[in-house]
Each structure stands twice: as structure tokens, then as C-alpha cells.
Structure 1
């Protein structure tokens, strides 16, 4: 069995993320549990807590798959003598798996049952994905099949997410350290809330905009096992890539 073009993998990761976020917010608001919830707040009470676990467990499964395919694509597009490039890709591949571990912890432990474990898992997931996206977006300039404009969009989305997450971290830090209380907390609550959702959505853009490169990958399942290879583009209209 051969599957030509694996663009559906990063697209599935991105669409599942956005759909899951939408459903969690709707369920939390409709149930009356919280009308302005942070993402972690949507996993506190049932029934949205069940959906929260499912959404992030699926992401923890799809994430390593996307990281592996990205790793294979980058290696195929590199030169054999580029040892430093290969080492960087191996490091990023490990980061992808660490992110998956953090996402799993985030899904299992809610902010109510174990707030420390939940925040550590969420931090690993958010920060790790942001770092991974920035690094890959920069490296894709020399390996991607995408247009220059698409590379610019990926890098802008990745860098923008970093800035937003820093602002979010500063805002949350001021709340937990009680540096911002009372009216100050009420004023900055909404901007911090919006920054979290914008940051989460920004993390998905890199994967959604990677579909053009994943289209060039082919997965073959045979008795010898599973093989992923790169099919080069061709100008022959009778045999399109």
C-alpha cells in the first residue's frame, strides 16, 4: 500500500487543534462554568474536562507523527556533508517528542487535580512548540518547496507567537505573584486571555502552512515495513508530483 502525499497529517493536527479549542470554549460557556475561561479553565469541570483530555491526548499522538515527517523531509532535502544541519534536525526531533510528553501531562492532570503538573506540561507544550516552529520556519527557507511568500508567513507566525506567549507569561506571572490585583487585574485580564488564545492559534499556523512540503512525501507499507521517501517534483503534466 502506498500513500502519495502526506499533507493531511499536519492539516489534521492544525484543524483538530482549532476545532478542539472551539468546542472546549463553547461547552464551558454554555454550561455556565466560566464565561471568560483560560484554556486550562476549560478542563476543570465535566463534561468539558472529558473533551479537554481527548483533544490534547489526540494532539500528543499526532504531534510526534508531524515531527517525524518533518524530520524525514528535512533530511531528504539536506546534503550528506551537512552534519551540523542533521544534528539540528535531530535536536528538533527530540524537542517534538518532549512537546508530546508535555501535552500528555497537560491532558491527564487538570489545573484542579494537580495544578503544578498541569502548568509544567502546558508550559512544555506551548514553549516547546513555539521554539520548534521558529527553528523549522527559519530552516525551511533553504529546503522548502513552498514559495518565498509562504516561508515569510511561516516565520512571521512563529515569531509572532513567541512575542504573544512572552506577553502572556508576563501577565500570568503578575497575577500569580499578586503584583497585579484588584482593578489592575480586571483591566489586564482580557488582554492576557486574548493573548493565550491568539498564541495557541498561532502555534497551529506553522503546521497548516507546511502542507506543500508534506505533499512531496510518500508512505509505503509492505512486508518489509513502513518506508517514507521523498518524491521529487516533475514538470511532466501526465505524471504530476
Structure 2
């Protein structure tokens, strides 16, 4: 059996995360629990807390598959002599799996039940995925089947998302240790809130820029086992490799 084109997996992963976030926001606001919730705030009270666990748990299950497909694609597009690059990809796929572990911790422990575990899990997921996306965006230059313009867009998106997450970390730290109180905190709250959602959506959507690369992979199931191979593609004369 052969399945040609595996881009459906990251597409499903992105749709699941974004749709889940939309449902969580809707439930939290309509229930009156919080009018301007951070993502973590949507997992504090039922019924949205149940949805929160389901969304991020399924995401942490699908995530390793996406990271592994990316790893296989990069291996197929490298030469055996590029040992440093291969080692780097092994480190990156490990980071991808660590992100999923952090995501599962984030799913099981809410800000109400265990704030410390929740912050560690969510922080690991956000920082790890930003690092993963940025490194892969750099590595894909010269290896991706996407156009040169798409490679520029992908790297720019990774850089912007990383900057947003740094600003988010600074903002969250300032709010948590109450460096800014009263009217100042109210004004500061909205930019930090928007930074979190922009960062989350940026991390998710960037996976869609790899569509052409994932679509070039083929899953084969035979008596010898399961293998993921790269379909040969005809070079684009306007964008030669």
C-alpha cells in the first residue's frame, strides 16, 4: 500500500489547533468566565477546561508525527557526508518531541490545579516550537521544494513570531510580578494578550509553508515494514534547486 503526499497531517494539525482555540475562546467568553482570557485562562473552569485538555492532548499526539515527517524530508534532501547537518536534524526532531511533551503537561495541569507545572509545560512548548521553526526555516534554504520567495516568507514569519514571543515573555513577567499596577496594568494587559494569540497562531500557520515539502513524501507499507520516501520531482526552471 502506498499513500502519496503526506501534507494532510500538518494541515490537520494546524486546523485542529486553530479551531480548538476558537471553540475555547467562544466557550470562555459566552459562559462569562472571562471576557479577555489568555489561552491558559480558557482551561481553568468547566466546561471549557475539558475541551482545553482534549485540544492540547490531541495536538501533542499529532505533533511528533509532523516533526518526524519533517525530519525524514530533511534527511532525504541531505547527503550522507553532511554529518553535522544530520546531527542537527536529530537534535531538532528531539526538540519537536520535547515540545509535544510540554504540550501534554500543559493539557493535564491547568493554572488552577498546578500553576507551576502548567507554566513549565506551556513555556517549553512555546519556546521549543519557536526555536524549532526558526532553525528549520534556516535549514530549508536550498533544500525546500518551495520557491525562494516562500523561503524568505517562512524565515521572516519565524523571526517575527520569535520576537513576539520574547515580548510576550517580558510582558507576562511584568504582569505576574506586578511591576505595573492599576491603570497601567489595564493598558499593558491588551498588548500582552494580543502578543500571545499572535504568537500561537504564527507558530501554527508556519507549518503550512512546508506544504510542498510534505506533499513530496510517500508512505509505503509492505511486507518489509513501513517506510517514508521522497518522490522524485522535476526541477522548476524558474526556481532551480
Q: TM-score range by the shorter chain?
A: over 0.9
Give deviations 1:31-69, integer Å, cap 9, x for gaps: 110010000000001111111001101110111001000
Query: 1: distance between equivalents of 2:234 and 2:85?
Result: 26
Displacement after TM superposition at 1:222 (Å): 2.1
Q: Which runs of 4+ in 1 moved over 4 A?
A: none
Displacement after TM superposition at 1:79 (Å): 1.0
1:97 aligns to what? Answer: 97
Is the 8 Å Cα contact of residues 154 and 205 (structure 1) preserved in structure 2?
Answer: no
Give deviations 1:136-160, integer Å, cap 9, x for gaps: 0011012100001111111111111
2:170 aligns to what? Answer: 170
Show structure 2 runs of 5+ residues with no match.
Answer: 236-241
Matched, 1:201 2:211: no
1:14 aligns to what? Answer: 14
2:220 aligns to what? Answer: 220
Query: 1: distance between equivalents of 2:24 and 2:155?
Result: 28
Give deviations 1:175-228, integer Å, cap 9, x for gaps: 111111111100100000000000000001221111110011000112322110
Query: 2: distance between equivalents of 1:224 and 1:23?
Result: 43
Query: 2: distance between equivalents of 1:10 and 1:79?
Result: 25
* Helix, strand or coil at the partner of 1:209: helix
Matches within 5 A, 1:64-103: 64-103=64-103
Query: 1: distance between equivalents of 2:131 and 2:155?
Result: 11
Query: 1: distance between equivalents of 2:234 and 2:161?
Result: 35
Query: 2: distance between equivalents of 1:169 and 1:55?
Result: 23
1:23 aligns to what? Answer: 23
Is the 8 Å Cα contact of residues 109 and 118 (structure 1) preserved in structure 2?
Answer: yes
Is the 8 Å Cα contact of residues 137 and 206 (structure 1) preserved in structure 2?
Answer: no
Q: RMSD of aligned C-alpha atoms?
A: 0.9
Matched, 1:111 2:111: yes
Query: 1: distance between equivalents of 2:223 and 2:33?
Result: 52
Q: TM-score if structure 2 supplies the norm length?
A: 0.96
Give deviations 1:65-95, integer Å, cap 9, x for gaps: 0100000000000011100100100000100
* Helix, strand or coil at the partner of 1:23: helix
Matched, 1:142 2:142: yes
Show structure 1 runs of 5+ residues with no match.
Answer: 236-241
Is the 8 Å Cα contact of residues 13 and 207 (structure 1) preserved in structure 2?
Answer: no
Query: 1: distance between equivalents of 2:152 and 2:13?
Result: 21
Query: 2: distance between equivalents of 1:19 and 1:152?
Result: 27
Q: How many residues align?
A: 235
1:45 aligns to what? Answer: 45
Is the 8 Å Cα contact of residues 157 and 205 (structure 1) preserved in structure 2?
Answer: no
Query: 2: distance between equivalents of 1:165 and 1:29?
Result: 24
Moved more, 218-227 or 125-134: 218-227
Q: TM-score if structure 1 supplies the norm length?
A: 0.96
2:129 aligns to what? Answer: 129
